[in-house]
Each structure stands twice: as structure tokens, then as C-alpha cells.
Amino acid sequence: MNETLALKIKGKATEEGFILAGITTPTAPPHISTYESWLDAGRHASMDYLARADARQRRADPKLILPECKSILVLAFPYQPVSPLQGEMTNRADGGNSPIGKIAAYALTEDYHLFLKEKLQAIVDFIETQIGHPIPNRWYTDTGPILERDMAERAGLGWIGKNTCLINPKEGSYFFLAEILLGIELPIDEPFTSDHCGTCTRCIDACPTQAILPDRTLDANLCISYLTIENKGEILEELRPQIGEWIFGCDICQQVCPWNGKALKCSNVETLELSTIQTEQNLVEELSLTPQEFNKKFKNNPVKRTKRRGYLRNIAVALGNAGDSAAIPALEKALDDIEPLVRDHARWALDRIMSKGEK
């Protein structure tokens, strides 16, 4: 009965668009000691919520989240790997070009926290219909105190790569992870035990800030994704040049991964449709966004997480790194912005552009 049910559940997950599905137990994650050491070393930067005692305890024991939990369904949902316009230039009215800001691929569509919850609930409803009664359950997608990649590896979805991403040999790493804790016992899938990174170090070598560490963790204090998203304050001046033109997140360690190259060649999965608004970021124009315009533009989009001040901070840094003198008027105007964070980074960008022009 349960083997048949497990197959039906995985079939339902496929219907909902998930490309990988596996089942594991609610026992302690295999890399919990690595995670604890990572926290103790302060590599979580300002993300203090990760180090709270209750959060640490729940990550070590999923049954503290759902005491009735007997099995965990782990899922992967794909997203479009590359923005068509990243790294290109847009034409200005005067015939010149303006730099395009780079946004992590996952943020080029609706916030996954919003649309995945409906799919996860649909799977729970399906399971309860199949067995004929409600069951204890709890689901997450990057929102709960769970070591997702550990769970996914143990459920057979892939291995944790040197770039810290979960990698599947057929699908690469461009997918969201989600978990459903279930109060029913289901047959457990074999864990993914092989490591296919081998001697490759492309991700480590390509990281501009050298944030990727040898133990398959990263130092958030240096990570471009952290600096442009979770970091709510200033970006250290010594790190700003390495950020390049990334204005929300970073995909470099995924872009250089050979397994993603292989996955893109053979994939026939229909991924989420990109939003034209999100793929056409003219940095000069973005710097003038009012609070109302920012909220309207990024409603239901992951970029809203940075808030306007964080986003414009990132825009200013990207403009400084692009070194385009055409951005000077916009940056000078930003010196009067309502946010001190934006003013400070605009001043840095102006100094950087001016210094380049004097050479």
C-alpha cells in the first residue's frame, strides 16, 4: 500500500511541475556538525536568526518541528537558468549605451515562496484524499529550520557540490528545494552517496570574493548573494569592486559548473516564464525609482526583499563598477536621496567613475 502511495505521490509532484522527488527519514542531518561549526565561526554574517538556539535544535532534529513526522518528501522545482540580457547593454536616447544590471536567475520571475506553497498544499491534499483522512504535516521552501540540501541528498536528489548547491547529474542545480514533513510512514529512497565534483574547482576559482570554502560551505560575509540581498547595511568598500554589476544575488558559481552545462543541453523541462520587466534593468533609470515605483515594480518578486534602499545601494555599486560617465548625473542626483545608505554608495560610485576618467 505505502509503496503504491509513494509512487502516486511522486506522480502528483510531477504533475505540479517538480522535476525531482525523493523520500527520507526525519533523523538528524548528516552534516549538522559542519553547520554548527559554520555558525560558530560567524560565517552566517548578520543572519542571526540562523544561530538562535531553537533554530539550531530544530535543524538537528526535524521531529521538533513536527513530532508526528515519520517521513519527509523532498522536492525540486526548476527555474530558467539564464537571463537573456545579463551582461548586455541597452541603447540610450543619445545613441550611447547603458549597462544592464545582473540579477540572479531565480529572481527573474514571481517569488517562489508564493507559487510553490500552492503546489505543496496540493500535494498534501492529494495524499489526504488517497488515504481518506487528514494527516499531520508541515511544508517549507527555504522558509523553515531545515537543512534542505542534507535532506535532499539523503532523499536521493543529488549531491552537495563544492559550490554548496545541490547538484543533480541530469538537472544540474537550477532548481528550488521544498520539503513536506508527513505524519505517515513511506518507503525511503536510497541516498545519493557519490560525489561527481571530482577534482574540478571552477566554482571556487571563479568566485570574485573567494567566498567558497574548502569544506563545501561559504562565508556569507564575502558572498555576493548575501551582500546584495540579506545584508541590510553598507557593503564594505574593499568588496564593492568584486561585485561587478550584480544588483541582486549572483549566479557565477552555477554558471561555471560543468554539470549545469550538461543539464542545459539535454533538458526539455518547461521552466517558469521570465518577466520582461525583470530582465530589462537599465541601471541609470533604476537609480531614480521612488519608493512607490519600487514597490509596484517588484510586487510579488524576490527583489522586494532588499527594500528600495538596498536595491539602490546595489545599483550605485554596479554603476561605479561599470565606469560609465553617463551615469554621473543620476549618481549626483542620488546624493540627495532620502536614504543615507543610497547616498553613501552613490558617492563611492562617483569617486570610482571620476578616478577611472582621470587615468
Check: CB of residue 158 under 8 Å from CB of residue 168. Answer: yes
Backbone angles phi and psi of 276, in degrees to 5: -60, -35
Which residues sit opposite 71 in a β-bridge?
182
Measured distance CA(225)–CA(246) in Å, rounded = 9
Q: Which pLDDT tens digit goes with each residue over 179-221? A: 999 999 999 999 999 999 999 999 999 999 999 999 999 999 9
Domain boundary among 155, 182, 209: 182
pLDDT at 279 over 70: no
pLDDT digits (tens, 9 = 90+) for 5-24: 999 999 999 999 999 999 99
Distances from the Cα of 279 to the Cα of 106, 109, 154, 194, 244, angstroms: 11, 9, 35, 37, 17
Catalytic (active site) residue 125: no
Confidence of residue 81 (pLDDT cuts 50, 70, 90): confident
Note the pLDDT of residue 46.
96
Report residue 356's pLDDT band, with 50, 70 and 90 as the boundaries.
confident
CA distance 44 to 220: 5
Residues 343 and 212 reside in one and the same domain: yes
Binning pLDDT at 50, 70 and 90, where does residue 82 land?
low
What does the mean pLDDT of the chain come to? 91
State whether 215 and 117 are in the same domain. no
Residue 19 inside a domain? The answer is: yes
Among 149, 182, 215, the domain boundary falls at 182
Q: Do 157 and 239 share a domain, yes or no? A: no
Q: Are residues 164 and 75 in the same domain?
A: yes
Among 71, 70, 104, smallest CA distance to 86 is for 104
**Residue-wise pLDDT tens digits, 286-332:** 999 999 999 999 999 999 999 999 999 999 999 999 999 999 999 99
168 and 23 housed in the same domain: yes
Q: Residue 91 falls within a domain, yes or no?
A: no
Decide if pLDDT at 239 tops 80. yes
Domain range for residue 218? 199-358
- 44, 170: one domain: yes
Q: What is the C-alpha separation between 9 and 165, in angstroms, rounded? A: 25
Q: Is 306 contained in some domain?
A: yes
Looking at the structure, tell me whether residues 203 and 138 fall in a common domain.
Answer: no
pLDDT of residue 275: 57
Mark which of 182, 215, 231 sits at the end of a domain. Answer: 182
Residues 144 and 224 in one domain: no
Question: Residue 168 has what DSSP assignment?
Answer: B
29 strand-pairing partners: none
CB atoms within 10 A of CB 102: 24
Q: For residue 332, is it within any domain?
A: yes
Residues 22, 168 within the same domain: yes
Q: What is the pTM of this model?
A: 0.92
In which residue are the cell numbers 549626483 written?
332
**Does 161 lie in the same domain as 245?**
no
Distance (Å, rounded) from C-alpha 50 to C-alpha 148?
14
Task: Tell me whether residue 193 is in a domain.
Answer: no
pLDDT at 139: 97
Distance (Å, whole) CA 69 – CA 270: 33
178 is written with which cell numbers?
A: 521544498
Distance CA 222, CA 211 (A): 5
Structural domains counted in the chain: 2
Task: Please indicate, yes or no, whether residues 152 and 124 belong to a single structural domain of this protein.
Answer: yes
Average pLDDT estimate for 111-133: 96
Q: What is the DSSP secondary structure assignment for residue 327, as one 8-state letter?
A: G
Pairwise CA distance, residues 333 & 183, whole Å: 57
The Cα 223–Cα 304 span in angstroms is: 19
Distances (CA, A) of 78 to 172, 271, 288, 325: 10, 6, 33, 39
Report yes or no on 89 lying in a domain. Answer: no
305 domain-assigned: yes
Confirm whether 68 is domain-assigned.
yes
Beta-bridge partners for 20:
76
SS3 assignment, position 133: coil
140/228 same-domain check: no
Q: Which of 48, 94, 125, 142 is catalytic?
A: 142
